[in-house]
Chains A and B, each alone.
Chain A
Amino acid sequence: MTQLLEDTDRRVFPTDDELLHRVLTPYRAKKCEYLTSATVTSQGDPRDGGRLVATCTFEIPESCYIDDTGHFNSVEFNICFNQMAYYLLAMSVRESLVEPFSGWTIEQFWTRQLADVFITDFKSSFRSAMQGRRFTGEIEIIDIAEWDANDLRDALVILRTKCHYADEQGGESHGEITAAVTNPPVI
């Protein structure tokens, strides 16, 4: 379901439960499906001053790797980022929101979701402790660099993103993450 707002090219996609379920499949066996909802807003191309954002909610009933610490920590920050990023990319592919993903099929995305998406640079900052049970998050794609294949290197897509988390008690953390997508389909 898409909402077109005020005659602009802004499009808003409420959570698609089926897509979310598919995106979180790799996390299911490990019991760490943290992402519970994601609303995607798309307006133009981030490279030309547009916006591509997912506004999300999370729930972590129990950490998948450590006893309850009582707060949101960097490992969970990373896992939550991955889940937001996968969902945003999947939606970008399915709804043809931005190049080059608009030229991919969703099947091409599923085959690349795990093997071909790499975090190459990760920066997280924790200003004030967040309670880790329920909170909100947001991911925004700042820039997309599409590098062609040549004799020296295979084709590569580099995503520059920003993310942000907050809880209702004023806890907050944010980060800047760069990810590389290798083996992009030849469009």
Chain B
Amino acid sequence: MSKAERPGLPDGVREVDIEHLYRRFADRGLQYGPAFRGLRAVWSHGEEVYADSALDTATGGDYLLHPALLDTALQAALVPDIDREDRTFLPFALRGIRVHKGGARAVRIHTVPGDDGFSLALTGDDGEPVATIGSVVSRPVTAEQLDAAAQRTQLLRVVWKSVVQQSDHSDQQRWGFLGTDRIGLTGALKATRPLFDSYPTLRELDSVLRAATAVPDVLVVSCTDEDSPVRSAAQRALMVVQECLADHRLAKTRLVLVSSGAVAARAGEDLSDVSGAAVWGLLRSVQSEHPDRFVLVDVDDPGNSGRSLAAAVASGEPQLAVRNGALLRPRLVRSPPPPRRRSLTGTVVITGGTGELGRLLARHLVTGHDVRHLVLLSRRGPGSPGAAELDAELTALGARVDVIACDVADRSSLESALAGIPAPSAVIHTAGVLSDGAIGTLTPRGLDKVLRPKVDAALHLHELIQDPDCAFVVFSSVAGLVGNAGQGNYAAANAVLDALAHHRRARRLQGLSLAWGLWESENGMGSDLSAADHNRIKRSGFAPLGHDQGLALFDAALGSDEAVLSPVRLNEAGLTGDIPPVLEELAPTRTGKPAVTDTLVSRLAELPEAERDAAALEFVRSVSAVVFGYESGDEVDPQREFSAAGLDSIGNLELSRHLAAATGLRLPATLVFDHPTPAELASHLRRLLQESNS
């Protein structure tokens, strides 16, 4: 339709190409289907937009104002920003909506910019008003955010949750302790287990087993002591596991590996036993390969752990921590988005710097952060394939680049590489290799192959980077938290990296371990995975991360105060059936999800008036935490808008539903749009409840 045929257009309007418009929308992650591609003609006039739109003939439904028609008006309002590359504005809150005439199938649209958004007028062909919206508040959103929302990328973290202790009816069970009692458990076990034996060596265990009368039901082994290097601890645990699996006489025996200080089950806990963490990682994979044979327990008070160990074994949980007599089990949960963005600057060292992940990150630090000096360490350095091109590319982007040949697992090589550069503001350890194999075939060399570039290098970096201001980021893997079958060595190495991050933080140094899900890869780690491997990964509840998704999660994680975060792309369809317990709470119908059974009304009734506002807010935060999948309401910032904290449309409905159930009020689906922060929502609920009481 030309301007001449469209009355009401001012002079100086510019017609916008509809095809271009929908292409640009798609570029931004806004993919409209046929029913929603209703714009027929669009004209821009400065910041104002005029448009004609109509419903597709096939689009039906009995609506006062058809959503697809309304959506075209919102699409038209995006036109002034359509060619901005950095972000898209999406409608966030609509106020002052009036429908003047129902059942329209075609409208003329006029949008006028206002404070924080725009106003909308929809009229019919006859010029009569169809609908007006006084204010559409819009919010910026990046393509990455849209994409991430669609793909369910997440930052996960490990929380340790209480396990209800069952009464111990296992007095008739025969317990044994194998090996040296490095952490002081046998006294407690002897005192609490009526049937208890010690076997200092495997040879002595063998001689007992030959008698066949005293096969232990539970065999306890300490993971390690604080002095064992990672390699020795992992090798010893591997040996015990292989011996147990190969010995048919122990087929019904449960092996319990006990550590002290190998996992951080409480906020701020130090890990005194980083080597023990390797055993935890290794055994998580063992548990995936051989369920119900092996138990991991970390105790805080070995001398008094007899009853707790019995309760731990009785609980049926594969991994437990004992803290002050309570049993805790690890669960991966969604982490709240970190409150701030941290931009890296200055000199940044990347190990594995010429590998696929290293390159990706190097580019990102130059283009997405303010890094102006990159030190890329890799075994072959400038001789790595593509290193010269990478150097040239980063230099052209304005960065100074040093590509240095350095075996980061070799302490002196690393030391001399670091001595030749300015003090770094950040070190990012991405180096690593895979050498997969089932636990029964894993050898000490197979362990070393993976431990060396990951763990040796990380420990050297830890010793050499003692500047409390220097960011220290290690790339670990969710395999270490979940315990992927066939990746015992890799899980062990990554569990050490996670432990190291805790260890550094306890020493007031910086430390962040990112336990990545698999990245989509062409040449890097994971590139030689088969279709079956990918299917297995998919079934495991994770999908490969796209590069942009991974980098967006990297940026988000940098602003966190956590020691370990797991940036992943969840595949919730895969989180069903027989999943590792640590993933249970991520499943769509997770059984461990706390129910909102307490009502706000009864809670407020018990409190004096002066405390009710605070209680209402606490309630809103705790319900929000359930919806977000957070551990507690403490993680919900009262002043942060729900949308900014990542509440999507499904979450919004879920929150409204929970609050309605807890208040007995009829609450609209737009509740969170009208009261966008927890604090505002809590005040609103208080008002509604006061009104309903009066």
Contact = CB atoms under 8 A, between A and B. Distances in A.
A123 to B, nearest CB: 16
Contact of B240 (A47, A144, A148, A152): A152
A152 B176 CA distance: 14
Interface in A135-187: 143-148, 150-153, 158
Contact of A147 (B178, B179, B203, B444): B444
Contact of B445 (A146, A152, A153): A146
Most buried by B among A144, A150, A152, A153: A152
Contact of B180 (A147, A148, A151): A151
A47 B240 CA distance: 22
B303 interface: no
A148 B200 contact: no
B447 to A, nearest CB: 10
B443 A145 contact: yes
Contacts of A145: 443-445
Interface size grouping (class) on chain B: 10 to 19
Interface stretch (B22-30, B188-196, B231-239, B576-584): B231-239
B236 A152 contact: yes
Given A143-B443, A145-B444, A145-B445, A150 B232 contact: yes
Nearest to B204: A152
A151 B202 CA distance: 9
A15 to B, nearest CB: 30
Contacts of B201: 151-153
A152 B235 contact: no
Interface string B173-187: 000001110000000
Nearest to A158: B443
Contacts of B203: 153
Interface in A108-154: 143-148, 150-153
A152 B179 contact: yes
B232 A151 contact: no
Interface in A58-76: none
A151 B205 CA distance: 13
A36 B202 CA distance: 41
Interface string B429-473: 000000000000001110000000000000000000000000000
Contacts of B202: 152-153
Contacts of B444: 145-148
Interface in B344-379: none
A152 B255 CA distance: 15
Contacts of B232: 148, 150
A43 to B, nearest CB: 18
Contacts of B179: 151-152
B443 A152 contact: no
Contacts of B443: 47, 143, 145, 158
Contact of A151 (B200, B235, B243, B445): B200
A150 B443 CA distance: 16
Interface in B308-337: none
A93 to B, nearest CB: 19
A170 B527 CA distance: 42
Contacts of B239: 147, 150, 152-153
Given A152-B201, A153-B202, A47 B445 contact: yes
Interface in B525-552: none
A153 B178 CA distance: 11
| Interchain residue pairs A-B with the least CB separation, the first 10 | A145-B443, A151-B180, A152-B179, A150-B236, A151-B179, A47-B445, A152-B202, A153-B202, A152-B201, A146-B444
28 contacts: A47-B443, A47-B445, A143-B443, A143-B445, A144-B445, A145-B443, A145-B444, A145-B445, A146-B444, A146-B445, A147-B235, A147-B239, A147-B444, A148-B232, A148-B235, A148-B444, A150-B232, A150-B235, A150-B239, A151-B200, A151-B201, A152-B178, A152-B236, A153-B201, A153-B203, A153-B239, A153-B243, A158-B443
Given A147-B235, A153-B239, 4 more contacts: A47-B443, A147-B239, A150-B236, A152-B239
